[in-house]
Amino acid sequence: MRLRDAAEAVAEGEWGRTVLVEGDGEVASLARSFNRMSARVAAAHAAQQEFVGDVSHELKTPLTNIRMYAELLDEALEDGDETSRAHVQVIVDESRRLSRLIGNVLTFARQG
């Protein structure tokens, strides 16, 4: 692959593209530097994807527990005062919203 083509591929998100290095001249030195840079960009991108995925996954479990307990509390307060039920409903609604946001982050991380 030519250096220009590889650079364009990396610019389009095809991380880790490399070029064949021939010789010892300035262009060969540039090609070696490009290969190192491309490998580092690919590694950084992979680490970022893994981090975002891990953080999102770690947030899902406690959030699911919060939502579950809030829903149970809402059921237990079925005959309770409206103010308490309204407060519990806010917890349920906001935990659902956070779940959707985390799902969006996971989707983004997978596409990244």
Per-residue tens of pLDDT for the chain, all 112 residues: 799 999 999 999 898 899 999 999 999 999 999 999 999 999 998 898 888 878 877 888 888 899 899 888 888 888 878 888 889 889 989 999 998 988 888 887 777 6
- Residue 38's region, left for phi above 0, alpha for psi from -120 to 50, else beta, is alpha
Domains and CATH numbers, the chain: 3-111 (1.10.287.130)
Q: pTM for this structure?
A: 0.64
d(CA 61, CA 106): 14
Residue 12 token pair: 């389009």
Rg, C-alpha atoms of the chain: 25
Q: DSSP labels for 25-70?
A: SHHHHHHHHHHHHHHHHHHHHHHHHHHHHHHHHHHHHHHHHHHHHH
